[in-house]
Amino acid sequence: MNISTYTVKPKLPLVLKPLEEIARNLWLSWNYDAVQLFIRLDYDCWLGSQQSPIRTLGMVSQERLAQTAKDDSYLAALNVIYERFQRYKKGETWYKSNHRARSSQDVIAYFSMEYGMDASLPIYSGGLGILSGDHMKTSSDIGLPLVGIGFLYRQGYFKQMLNADGFQQESYPENDWYNMPVERRNGKDGQPLKITVDLAGRQAIAQIWEVKVGRSSLFLLDTNIEENTQDIRNITAALYGGDKETRMQQEILLGIGGIRALRALGINPAATHMNEGHAAFLGLERTREIMTEKNFTFDEAREAVWPSNIFTTHTPVPAGNERFDIPMMDKYFRSWPQVLGISWKDFLGLGRVDANDERETFCMTVLALKMAAYANGVAKLHGVVSREMWQGLWPGLPLDEIPIGHVTNGVHPRTWISSGMLNLLDRYFGPHFEDKPTELKIWERMDRISDEELWRTHERRRDRLVAFVRERVREQYKRTGAMERRIRQAEDVLSPYALTICFARRFATYKRGNLLLRDPERLLRLVRDNDRPIQLIFAGKAHPHDMPGKDLIRDIIHFAEKYDVSNRIVFVENYDMNVAKYLTSGGDVWLNTPRRPMEASGTSGMKAAMNGVLNCSILDGWWDEAYNPEVGWAIGHGEQYIDEKLQDDIESKSLYDLLEREIIPMFYDRGRDGLPREWIKMMKDCMKEIGQSMSSHRMLMDYSNQFYFPALKNYRRFSKDDYAEAKSLAAYFSKLHQAWGSLKIVKVESNAKPVMQRGDTLNVIAYLDLGSISTNELQVELYHGALSSQTSNITDARKAEMKWLKSEGNLNLYQVRVECVDTGMQGHTVRILPKHEALIHPYRCGLIKWA
């Protein structure tokens, strides 16, 4: 069948033309006034479009458009918002005010498998995608030279439906890209820009789409084109769909194809940020590029790109890190050692903790860690967990020096604070809250807001949440064929006045969505209390193959049915950004119950907190560092258990105790004016603290100062003089690796006595046999501090560089003097690390020598 194709666009009157530009930029996803323009056009079309501005324009009748073009009130609102949009795009930013890139083409390229921007662009599944979306929006706000790379999924993530028994079922609706805020990028010839990657000897071709995100751009790769065979077209069919081989193909396309796409667009990825290990193959592609361009060795090219690679890990358990079996690697990468000029064993060693262990599979996280100068976890606790997990990559290096830091996640305030609450904050915080989002101290103005205004605003949000849930439950009952009497009961689901506790996240067993159900009698007493009732709203998807996760959902629904409390314990199906916005703004308490330390960060509680919804959570992820008694409640004290059943029993009882003794009494303790003054004070303190500490603007400033700006500076430095410093560094490490085995710390002498007085000077001399290494090529340190009584290791160590003293025969003497400051049992030793003026940090795999 020969089908001719063409695209039909809405015919907008000239005065309404700005609507199309606004609709095609996700700036509107965090500007509710802009969204209102499309709702005002035709509310029924807005609902029918599933809240897609572009589709709404296509659904509104020409008669309605002509009518609106004569509506002076509408046109006035459109002009105000369009002017604000233009002012935003051209305005001064934090980046422009503080930093200037050398070239507009030198950018930070941010790679992620998913992006949660807006309900109208369903290319996300959960927390990783929402974080990526907030990352892109915030980079626009602060004017960072950053672009995103991802996939244009034909189906996105699945739509969740629950059958009459409460069992999760999935459907995979096709995305209609021509009615979504994406635009295909064309070359100078007017034809779609395309790139190719090799997949086990077959060429996969991908075209490139662009999503405008305020000032920033997100580029999405798409293999669903006629030139490809069906299996290659399916690479970008579904997010996290297919088998292990599909995942391999996706990760080759993301990492290698992503770099090639930027080149095709004329963009230079001067620094690259791998958001999780999925994009780690980009390190190989960047290395190959320089080898080809400069005729470098692998080691020289790697040293050229290593200083400008950044890697963020999100996984706190070893099993969660992507691994590929060696036969799979052999199929897709057998030609790469020849391209890189290294052996097959050395190539596989790039993805192994122990490069010599031929039984070890190839790990994407290991590849990313070995190819990046900068690495981080996504919360302070997660940084600790990550250093423990990957300590084997740096044998002999103390845990606190493992080069994996942390940048705690944040959320984009104007996306996640409800419109009603945002209007209140804008009124009291002033224009800088929108115009200068990096001025986080503005949250201190929470005290200006009266208790009455804050509480009434919150109550309206709870009213809207209850109305929304009733409508969703009614639709759910209709779809599952419930009796008319049952459908009418949806009108009475939940109360707009009861204490509302929300639990919404991915339904994985470690998140323990059923923890509150462990003592039915105790829970039912709280739910059925006529004077001080609580009500529970659950939402979240289980992975399609996660049967225990699906069972958790069914357990909650069966519990509500069994005890006849379906009007007070509700599960809302198909959790997405739209549902999340209702829950995080309309609940009273946000519940989070993971098994510590398995929650890397989490961000839903941050969104709730910025809306004045108080967190009650296990001390895990972000809450471990954000909690204090003035802003919410902690379940337990951060204990970790070996016996999971014991842990569940203890922590569920702790949760019941908190509800009965603190949360419920505080919520219902009202003054004569009907206001819960103590609760409102906690709301204000919570919004004030979390608004500052967990804003994505703080997160992006942290990334910029710790990683992005140093990486861009490294790129400029290392690319100078034909990458001279990279070549020098590669030669240095080649020499070091050859000579390291013969390096010896022959003896260490000191004036230490069994008992030293505080203020005494400790004099230490080390005798080193350096072999062929010169004295200026090594850093010799005294490593000293308190001794642990349990492990006899030095804790809270201090480092003092030892200075070369003299030569004695073939030995070099180094000396240092330090003052005895701390009392108690102290210890010291000597170690040697690499030293080179071009080093980003001295902690390179296998290069540390201890006395």
pLDDT band at 241 (very low <50, low <70, confident <90, very high): confident
* 103 has a pLDDT exceeding 90: no
Indicate if the pLDDT at residue 183 is higher than 90: yes
Say if CB 109 and CB 273 are below 8 A apart.
yes
Q: Is residue 330's pLDDT more than 80? A: yes
Q: Compute how many other C-beta atoms are within 10 angstroms of the C-beta atom of residue 309.
A: 27
**The pair of three-digit structure tokens given for residue 478, joined into one six-digit string:** 């209709």
Based on its alpha-carbon atoms, the radius of gyration of the chain, rounded to whole angstroms, reads 29
pLDDT at position 97 is: 86
What's the average model confidence in pLDDT over 12-35? Answer: 95
Among residues of the chain, what percentage have pLDDT more than 70?
Answer: 98
Task: Indicate the pLDDT class of residue 106, thresholds 50, 70 and 90.
Answer: confident
What single-letter DSSP state applies at residue 225? S
Reported confidence tier of residue 100, pLDDT bands at 50, 70, 90: low
What is the β-pairing status of strands 534-539 and 499-504?
Answer: parallel
CA–CA separation, 249 and 226 (whole Å): 18
DSSP E strand boundaries for 705-791: 744-750, 761-769, 778-787
Tens-place pLDDT, residues 695-723 = 999 999 999 999 999 999 999 999 999 99
* DSSP code per residue over 401-469: GSS-EE----B-HHHHS-HHHHHHHHHHH-THHHH-TT-GGGGGGGGGS-HHHHHHHHHHHHHHHHHHH
Q: What is the mean pLDDT of residues 250-259?
A: 98
Could you tell me the pTM of the whole model? 0.96
The dihedral region occupied by 238, where left means phi > 0, alpha psi between -120 and 50, and beta the remainder, is beta
For residue 127, give the nearest of 635, 689, 576, 596 by alpha carbon.
576
The per-residue pLDDT for range 127-141, each reduced to its tens digit, is 999 999 999 999 999
Using the predicted structure, report yes or no on whether residue 50 has a pLDDT greater than 90.
Answer: no
In 3D space, the residue among 442, 506, 458, 450 whose CA is nearest the CA of residue 695 turns out to be 442
Taking only the tens place, the pLDDT of each residue in 631-669 is: 999 999 999 999 999 999 999 999 999 999 999 999 999
Mean pLDDT (the chain, rounded): 94
pLDDT at 104: 63
Tabulate helix, strand, coil % of the chain (nearest 5): 45, 20, 35
Is residue 841 pLDDT above 70, yes or no?
yes
The pLDDT of residue 138: 98
Q: What is the pLDDT of residue 15?
A: 95
According to DSSP, the residues that pair with 217 across neighbouring strands are 147, 212
- Determine the average pLDDT of the residues in 89-116: 85
How much is the pLDDT for 78?
97
DSSP 798: E
Check if the beta carbon of residue 296 is closer than 8 Å to that of residue 304: yes
pLDDT in tens, 217-226: 999 999 999 9
Measure the CA–CA gap between 246 and 320, rounded to whole angstroms: 17
